[in-house]
Amino acid sequence: MDDLLIERRGLVGWIRLNRPPHNYFDEALIRGIAESCDSFRAEASCRAIVLASRGKAFCAGGLFSAEASRPTERTGDVSQLYEYARRVYACPIPIVAAIQGPATGGGFGLALVADFRVACPEARFWANFVKLGVHPGFGISHTLPALIGGQKAARLLLTGRRLGGEEAFQWGIVDELVSREELDDAAQRFAEEIAANAPLALVSVKETLRMGGVLAFGEIVKREWLEQRRLFGTEDHREGVRAVSERRGAVFRGR
């Protein structure tokens, strides 16, 4: 099974995660998204991208296991994974994410590297890192405050609060809320509204809007990874992963 389904719909390129039901990511998957963005960039007739998923979840982030001290990956390491995430964030073609289910942890971060998010009420947005005793990652320490402001972002990142689709729309995380049945069509329409404009101007405007952000994103993910690497070795992280696996509240001891 291909982990990514790539297609063109007129002026819009589609990248669909295909690891149902949860669409856990690893370095190979994020590299594939980055390379697909690069390929669409090379096509003069592609003016917008939709990032979507098959399955129950949009993306459940990295796969944590009770036996491991860090998210399991099929290949590579997290630091390289985050470099591919930076490449997606820096893609000069506007990206619309179509969120049909939970976007959890790094999956929330993946949704935030897009320029816009179209979602349904069944979507969930959860920065659950502190519940796992680990630092946020995937650039979310930059993208979330940039989107909704520092105070609201701090509330989500420090409480581990989960937002449903309607609440995320109210918070400004979601740009358009539609039914799940309408999601793909709505994302296509959103992308087509962008793609109808002058392609050189679209690239120029997006690069201007993210000019400082790309540099900040790169620095933030370096800090995130250093802190994640440190916290992966703590008792609190192991307890957080066990607690999630056992569906109970964690007992953290600060060590």
Tokens in use for 59? 């993306």
The CATH number covering residue 23 comes to 3.90.226.10
Chain centroid to CA 40: how far? Answer: 19
Q: Is residue 209 part of a domain?
A: no
What mean pLDDT is reported for the chain?
93
Q: How far is CA 93 from CA 59, 176, 186, in A?
A: 22, 19, 19
Residue span of the structural domain in which 14 resides: 4-181
Amino acid letter for position 121 = P
Residue 18 covered by a domain: yes
Show the tokens assigned to 194: 């962008």
**DSSP 8-state assignment for residue 237:** H
Strands (E), the chain: 4-9, 12-17, 48-53, 95-99, 102-104, 116-119, 124-126, 162-164, 176-177
Q: What is the number of structural domains in the chain?
A: 1
Residue 250 has a pLDDT of 94
Contact call for residues 132 and 126 (beta carbons, < 8 A): no
Contacts of 77 (CB under 8 A, 6+ apart): 27
Residues 95-149 pLDDT 10s: 999 999 999 999 999 999 999 999 999 999 999 999 999 999 999 999 999 999 9
Domain membership flag for residue 15: yes
Taking only Cα atoms into account, the Rg of the chain, rounded to an integer number of angstroms, comes to 17
Q: What is the mean pLDDT of residues 154-178?
A: 98
Least confident of 40-54, 77-91, 119-133, 157-171: 77-91
- Taking the C-alpha atoms of residue 75 and residue 77, their distance in angstroms, rounded to an integer, is 7
Tell whether 193 is covered by a domain: no
Q: Which residues 6+ apart lie within 8 Å of 160 measured at CB?
A: 126, 127, 128, 129, 130, 131
Q: Tell me how far apart the alpha carbons of residues 12 and 189 are, in angstroms, rounded to a whole number.
A: 10
Give the model's pLDDT for residue 73.
41
Residue 224 within any structural domain of the chain: no
